[in-house]
Amino acid sequence: MLTTKARVRERLIDGIKVQVYDDAKELISNAAMQLSALLKEKPSATIGLATGGTFVDFYTHVAATHKEDGYSFGAAKSVNLDEYVGLNWEDPQSYHRYMLENFFSKVDIRKENAFVPNGNAEDIHAEAAAYDRRIQDLGGVDLQYLGVGVNGHIGFNEPHTPFDSRTHVVDLTGSTREANSRFFIARDVPKRAITKGIGTILEAKKIIVLAMGSSKAQIIKDMFEVGMTTRIPITALKMHPDVTLMLDKDAAALLTDL
Ligand code: GLP
Protein backbone atom coordinates (compact mmCIF):
# COMPACT_ATOMS: atom_id res chain seq x y z
CA MET A 1 0.00 0.00 0.00
CA LEU A 2 1.26 3.45 -0.84
CA THR A 3 1.70 5.89 2.00
CA THR A 4 2.07 9.61 1.54
CA LYS A 5 4.86 11.02 3.65
CA ALA A 6 4.23 14.54 4.86
CA ARG A 7 6.80 16.92 3.48
CA VAL A 8 9.13 19.07 5.50
CA ARG A 9 11.27 21.67 3.76
CA GLU A 10 14.24 23.05 5.63
CA ARG A 11 16.64 25.91 5.06
CA LEU A 12 19.07 27.93 7.12
CA ILE A 13 18.11 31.61 6.91
CA ASP A 14 20.12 34.23 8.84
CA GLY A 15 21.46 31.43 11.04
CA ILE A 16 17.96 30.17 11.94
CA LYS A 17 16.95 26.65 10.93
CA VAL A 18 13.59 27.27 9.22
CA GLN A 19 11.34 24.25 8.72
CA VAL A 20 8.06 24.32 6.80
CA TYR A 21 5.58 21.51 7.40
CA ASP A 22 2.84 20.48 5.00
CA ASP A 23 1.12 18.76 7.89
CA ALA A 24 0.58 20.66 11.16
CA LYS A 25 0.37 17.39 13.12
CA GLU A 26 3.86 16.51 11.96
CA LEU A 27 5.05 19.94 13.10
CA ILE A 28 3.62 19.38 16.59
CA SER A 29 5.05 15.89 16.84
CA ASN A 30 8.52 17.04 15.76
CA ALA A 31 8.41 19.91 18.26
CA ALA A 32 7.48 17.39 20.96
CA MET A 33 10.23 15.00 19.88
CA GLN A 34 12.85 17.58 20.89
CA LEU A 35 11.40 17.65 24.39
CA SER A 36 11.32 13.88 24.53
CA ALA A 37 14.98 13.66 23.44
CA LEU A 38 16.04 16.25 26.03
CA LEU A 39 14.21 14.66 28.97
CA LYS A 40 15.43 11.17 28.09
CA GLU A 41 19.00 12.45 28.10
CA LYS A 42 18.60 14.83 31.05
CA PRO A 43 15.50 14.06 33.16
CA SER A 44 16.17 17.06 35.42
CA ALA A 45 16.25 19.55 32.53
CA THR A 46 14.71 23.01 32.79
CA ILE A 47 12.26 23.76 30.02
CA GLY A 48 11.00 27.19 29.04
CA LEU A 49 7.29 27.05 28.26
CA ALA A 50 5.05 29.31 26.19
CA THR A 51 1.31 29.92 26.04
CA GLY A 52 -1.08 31.22 23.37
CA GLY A 53 -3.39 29.44 20.96
CA THR A 54 -0.46 27.89 19.08
CA PHE A 55 0.64 25.77 22.03
CA VAL A 56 -2.68 24.16 22.94
CA ASP A 57 -2.21 21.27 20.48
CA PHE A 58 1.42 20.91 21.48
CA TYR A 59 0.53 20.40 25.15
CA THR A 60 -2.31 18.02 24.26
CA HIS A 61 0.10 15.96 22.19
CA VAL A 62 2.86 15.89 24.83
CA ALA A 63 0.41 15.01 27.61
CA ALA A 64 -1.06 12.17 25.54
CA THR A 65 2.22 10.66 24.34
CA HIS A 66 4.95 11.14 26.96
CA LYS A 67 4.27 8.00 28.98
CA GLU A 68 4.17 5.72 25.99
CA ASP A 69 7.23 7.48 24.62
CA GLY A 70 9.02 6.57 27.85
CA TYR A 71 9.82 9.84 29.54
CA SER A 72 8.61 11.70 32.59
CA PHE A 73 8.46 15.22 34.00
CA GLY A 74 9.03 13.92 37.54
CA ALA A 75 12.48 15.52 37.84
CA ALA A 76 12.01 18.31 35.29
CA LYS A 77 11.53 22.00 35.99
CA SER A 78 9.62 24.49 33.90
CA VAL A 79 9.72 28.26 33.73
CA ASN A 80 6.97 29.95 31.76
CA LEU A 81 7.58 33.01 29.66
CA ASP A 82 4.97 35.45 30.83
CA GLU A 83 1.75 36.35 32.65
CA TYR A 84 -0.77 39.19 32.59
CA VAL A 85 -0.53 41.69 35.43
CA GLY A 86 -3.56 41.82 37.73
CA LEU A 87 -5.32 38.58 36.81
CA ASN A 88 -6.10 36.21 39.62
CA TRP A 89 -4.46 32.75 39.23
CA GLU A 90 -7.92 31.25 38.95
CA ASP A 91 -8.92 33.64 36.17
CA PRO A 92 -9.77 31.65 33.02
CA GLN A 93 -7.54 33.96 30.95
CA SER A 94 -4.51 33.86 33.22
CA TYR A 95 -1.53 31.89 31.95
CA HIS A 96 -1.43 30.09 35.32
CA ARG A 97 -4.85 28.65 34.59
CA TYR A 98 -3.93 27.95 30.95
CA MET A 99 -0.86 25.96 32.03
CA LEU A 100 -2.76 24.08 34.72
CA GLU A 101 -5.57 23.09 32.39
CA ASN A 102 -3.56 22.35 29.28
CA PHE A 103 -0.47 20.80 30.79
CA PHE A 104 0.46 20.74 34.47
CA SER A 105 -2.64 18.78 35.50
CA LYS A 106 -2.00 16.20 32.76
CA VAL A 107 1.65 15.33 33.34
CA ASP A 108 3.68 14.32 36.37
CA ILE A 109 5.58 17.60 36.80
CA ARG A 110 5.82 18.56 40.47
CA LYS A 111 3.89 21.68 41.39
CA GLU A 112 6.90 23.16 43.14
CA ASN A 113 9.00 22.75 39.99
CA ALA A 114 6.59 24.48 37.60
CA PHE A 115 7.07 28.26 37.58
CA VAL A 116 4.90 30.98 36.04
CA PRO A 117 5.54 34.65 36.85
CA ASN A 118 3.14 35.98 39.48
CA GLY A 119 1.24 38.82 37.82
CA ASN A 120 -0.53 39.50 41.10
CA ALA A 121 2.54 40.14 43.21
CA GLU A 122 2.32 43.16 45.49
CA ASP A 123 5.64 44.44 44.16
CA ILE A 124 5.52 43.40 40.53
CA HIS A 125 9.01 44.73 39.72
CA ALA A 126 10.53 42.77 42.60
CA GLU A 127 8.70 39.68 41.32
CA ALA A 128 10.26 40.19 37.88
CA ALA A 129 13.76 40.45 39.31
CA ALA A 130 13.18 37.40 41.53
CA TYR A 131 11.87 35.39 38.57
CA ASP A 132 15.01 36.17 36.58
CA ARG A 133 17.20 35.12 39.52
CA ARG A 134 15.20 31.91 39.87
CA ILE A 135 15.98 30.99 36.27
CA GLN A 136 19.68 31.51 36.98
CA ASP A 137 19.43 29.49 40.20
CA LEU A 138 17.88 26.62 38.26
CA GLY A 139 20.99 26.63 36.09
CA GLY A 140 19.36 28.31 33.07
CA VAL A 141 16.94 26.96 30.49
CA ASP A 142 17.92 23.91 28.44
CA LEU A 143 15.15 24.21 25.86
CA GLN A 144 12.94 27.28 25.38
CA TYR A 145 9.70 27.06 23.40
CA LEU A 146 8.39 30.29 21.90
CA GLY A 147 5.47 31.54 19.87
CA VAL A 148 5.44 34.86 18.05
CA GLY A 149 2.97 37.73 18.17
CA VAL A 150 1.62 39.33 14.98
CA ASN A 151 3.89 42.32 15.73
CA GLY A 152 6.92 40.08 16.20
CA HIS A 153 6.88 39.97 19.99
CA ILE A 154 8.41 37.02 21.82
CA GLY A 155 7.05 36.38 25.29
CA PHE A 156 5.46 39.78 25.80
CA ASN A 157 8.54 41.69 24.63
CA GLU A 158 6.94 44.31 22.45
CA PRO A 159 8.67 46.24 19.62
CA HIS A 160 11.61 48.39 20.80
CA THR A 161 12.38 46.25 23.86
CA PRO A 162 16.18 46.18 24.29
CA PHE A 163 17.78 42.90 23.27
CA ASP A 164 19.59 42.67 26.62
CA SER A 165 16.42 43.08 28.71
CA ARG A 166 15.84 40.86 31.74
CA THR A 167 12.47 39.71 33.11
CA HIS A 168 10.40 42.89 33.39
CA VAL A 169 6.97 44.51 33.42
CA VAL A 170 5.64 45.71 30.05
CA ASP A 171 2.84 47.90 28.73
CA LEU A 172 1.07 45.84 26.08
CA THR A 173 0.63 47.49 22.69
CA GLY A 174 -2.76 48.07 21.07
CA SER A 175 -1.99 45.42 18.45
CA THR A 176 -1.21 42.76 21.07
CA ARG A 177 -4.31 43.61 23.11
CA GLU A 178 -6.36 43.46 19.94
CA ALA A 179 -4.84 40.11 18.87
CA ASN A 180 -5.48 38.60 22.33
CA SER A 181 -8.98 40.07 22.70
CA ARG A 182 -10.30 36.89 21.08
CA PHE A 183 -9.71 35.17 24.42
CA PHE A 184 -11.32 37.94 26.52
CA ILE A 185 -15.01 37.83 25.72
CA ALA A 186 -16.87 40.96 26.94
CA ARG A 187 -13.96 42.25 29.02
CA ASP A 188 -10.80 44.24 28.53
CA VAL A 189 -7.43 42.65 27.89
CA PRO A 190 -5.06 43.62 30.73
CA LYS A 191 -2.83 46.60 29.94
CA ARG A 192 0.34 45.18 31.46
CA ALA A 193 2.21 41.91 31.64
CA ILE A 194 5.33 40.45 33.18
CA THR A 195 7.68 38.68 30.77
CA LYS A 196 11.09 37.08 30.55
CA GLY A 197 13.29 39.65 28.81
CA ILE A 198 14.86 39.12 25.43
CA GLY A 199 18.28 38.79 27.08
CA THR A 200 16.83 36.19 29.45
CA ILE A 201 15.32 34.26 26.53
CA LEU A 202 18.57 34.34 24.54
CA GLU A 203 20.41 32.61 27.39
CA ALA A 204 18.49 29.36 26.77
CA LYS A 205 20.74 26.67 25.31
CA LYS A 206 18.28 25.80 22.56
CA ILE A 207 15.18 27.61 21.24
CA ILE A 208 12.24 26.26 19.25
CA VAL A 209 9.71 28.71 17.81
CA LEU A 210 6.31 27.60 16.57
CA ALA A 211 4.28 29.78 14.20
CA MET A 212 1.08 28.58 12.62
CA GLY A 213 -1.72 30.14 10.62
CA SER A 214 -2.01 32.91 8.06
CA SER A 215 -2.05 35.68 10.69
CA LYS A 216 1.69 35.03 11.22
CA ALA A 217 2.69 35.03 7.52
CA GLN A 218 3.51 38.75 7.31
CA ILE A 219 5.69 38.92 10.41
CA ILE A 220 7.56 35.76 9.34
CA LYS A 221 8.28 37.40 5.99
CA ASP A 222 9.25 40.70 7.66
CA MET A 223 11.70 39.07 10.08
CA PHE A 224 13.87 37.86 7.21
CA GLU A 225 13.73 41.11 5.26
CA VAL A 226 15.70 43.01 7.86
CA GLY A 227 18.80 42.18 9.87
CA MET A 228 18.37 42.52 13.60
CA THR A 229 16.16 45.32 14.81
CA THR A 230 14.37 45.99 18.08
CA ARG A 231 11.42 47.08 15.92
CA ILE A 232 10.82 43.32 15.33
CA PRO A 233 11.74 41.56 18.60
CA ILE A 234 11.91 38.07 17.07
CA THR A 235 14.90 39.18 14.94
CA ALA A 236 16.97 39.01 18.16
CA LEU A 237 16.92 35.23 17.74
CA LYS A 238 19.34 35.63 14.82
CA MET A 239 22.15 36.13 17.33
CA HIS A 240 21.45 32.77 19.02
CA PRO A 241 23.41 29.72 17.80
CA ASP A 242 20.63 27.11 18.07
CA VAL A 243 17.18 28.26 16.94
CA THR A 244 14.65 26.20 14.98
CA LEU A 245 11.62 27.99 13.55
CA MET A 246 8.82 25.54 12.77
CA LEU A 247 6.18 26.88 10.39
CA ASP A 248 3.03 25.46 8.93
CA LYS A 249 2.24 26.19 5.28
CA ASP A 250 0.06 29.19 6.12
CA ALA A 251 2.64 30.91 8.30
CA ALA A 252 5.28 30.29 5.62
CA ALA A 253 3.08 31.43 2.74
CA LEU A 254 5.00 34.67 2.09
CA LEU A 255 8.49 33.12 2.30
CA THR A 256 9.06 32.81 -1.42
CA ASP A 257 12.14 30.59 -1.59
CA LEU A 258 11.08 27.77 0.70
C1 GLP B 1 0.83 35.96 23.44
C2 GLP B 1 1.98 35.40 24.29
C3 GLP B 1 3.14 34.99 23.44
C4 GLP B 1 2.64 34.17 22.28
C5 GLP B 1 1.79 35.03 21.37
C6 GLP B 1 1.20 34.28 20.20
O7 GLP B 1 0.80 37.34 23.36
N8 GLP B 1 2.46 36.29 25.28
O9 GLP B 1 4.08 34.27 24.23
O10 GLP B 1 3.73 33.69 21.54
O11 GLP B 1 0.75 35.57 22.13
O12 GLP B 1 0.00 33.70 20.57
P13 GLP B 1 -0.92 32.79 19.67
O14 GLP B 1 -0.30 31.45 19.66
O15 GLP B 1 -2.24 32.79 20.38
O16 GLP B 1 -0.98 33.41 18.33
Tens-digit pLDDT profile for residues 112-149: 999 999 999 999 999 999 999 999 999 999 999 999 99
pLDDT band at 186 (very low <50, low <70, confident <90, very high): confident
C-beta 71 within 6 A of ligand 1: no
Given the residues 57, 66, 80, 82, select the one marked as catalytic.
82
CA distance 87 to 96: 9
pTM here? 0.95
User: Is 127 one of the catalytic residues?
Assistant: no
Which pLDDT value is given to residue 185? 86
Average pLDDT along the chain: 95
Per the annotation, the verdict on 158 as an active-site residue is yes
Q: Judging by DSSP bridges, how do beta strands 192-195 and 114-115 pair with one another?
A: unpaired
- Active site residue: 80, 151, 157, 180, which one? 151
Say what the pLDDT of residue 5 is: 60
Q: Please tell me if the CB atom of residue 233 comes closer than 6 angstroms to any atom of ligand 1.
A: no
Which value, in Å, is the radius of gyration of the alpha carbons in the chain?
A: 17
- For the cut 80, the answer to whether the pLDDT of residue 257 exceeds it is no
Closest residue CA from atom 10 of ligand 1: 147
Q: Is the Cα torsion angle 151, 152, 158, 163 positive or negative in sign?
A: negative
Q: Are 165 and 199 in contact (CB under 8 A)?
A: yes
Question: pLDDT value at position 6?
Answer: 63
Answer whether 197 contacts ligand 1 (Cβ < 6 A): no
